[in-house]
Amino acid sequence: MSGILDLLNSDLGKQIIGGVSNEVGEDQNKTASVLSMALPVLMGAMKRNASSPEGAEGLNRALEKKHDGSILDNLAGLFGGGVDQEVKDDGDGILGHVLGNSRQNVESAISKKSGINASSIGNILKVAAPLLMGMLGKQKRQQNVQSSSGIGDLLGGLLGGGGSSNQAPQQQSFIESILDGDNDGSVLDDIAGMFFGGGDKKDNNSGGGGLGGLLGGLFGGK
């Protein structure tokens, strides 16, 4: 099964990147970099939330109904003339639910890594969150996941195996920079372990980044 960043690098993903980029007025490459950092973090937080039966059932209901993947069926219509405020409000609600008190910290960390101001990061994520939910809903249908008990496996498969690339310490350092920003016991506390299997903590400030680097770092490249 394709990981979330493989999907982001597909034709559908490129259409999403172009649409989000035009919507928020940011460079496409920078938008791709932001999404390649943010989407795994959001999915990791969802996976943590779905570790409880109640959380898994709530996500399953959302993917059965409102976020069934139909938002992806007409992206030209979604982005043509600007994204509806209703979609952005939906994204705002998703981010609040998934990230909780860590939301500002996540946006700030991605801002520092990408060089895009935090306000623009927030706008990108408000548009991207419903699309991510749509991707999950589409995968749920394609894989015939019928019950909430399969939601964790669905998310785990899309997050991928973590890879063994030399880029991994750099990406672990980025995730840790988010997690170290506060000590509120947030849902993000275990995301680094989800990506990297609890490997050694290393500092790496050697730069890099971008969609290709993150694809290589998180999923071992191709």
Query: How does pLDDT run along the chain (222 residues), one tens digit per residue?
Result: 467 778 888 899 999 999 999 999 999 999 999 998 888 888 888 888 888 889 899 999 999 888 988 999 999 999 998 999 999 999 999 999 888 888 888 888 888 888 899 999 999 999 999 999 999 999 898 888 888 888 888 888 887 644 434 444 444 455 555 544 444 444 444 454 444 444 444 433 333 343 333 333 333 333
Q: Under DSSP, is residue 143 helix (H, G, I), strand (E, B) or coil?
A: coil
What is the pLDDT, as a whole number, of residue 147?
82
Distance CA 42, CA 32 (A): 15
Distance CA 64, CA 88 (A): 20
Find, among 64, 61, 52, the residue nearest to 144 by Cα: 64
The full DSSP string for 22-56 is HHHT--HHHHHHHHHHHHHHHHHHHHHHTTSHHHH
What is the pLDDT, as a whole number, of residue 146?
83
Answer yes or no: are the C-beta atoms of 200 and 123 closer than 8 Å: no
What is the pLDDT, as a whole number, of residue 91?
95
What is the pLDDT, as a whole number, of residue 173?
53
Residue with tokens 């995301």: 191
Find, among 63, 78, 81, 42, the residue nearest to 159 by Cα: 42
In degrees, rounded to 5, the angle at the alpha carbon of residue 103 between the alpha carbons of residues 195 and 182 is 75
What is the pLDDT, as a whole number, of residue 186?
46
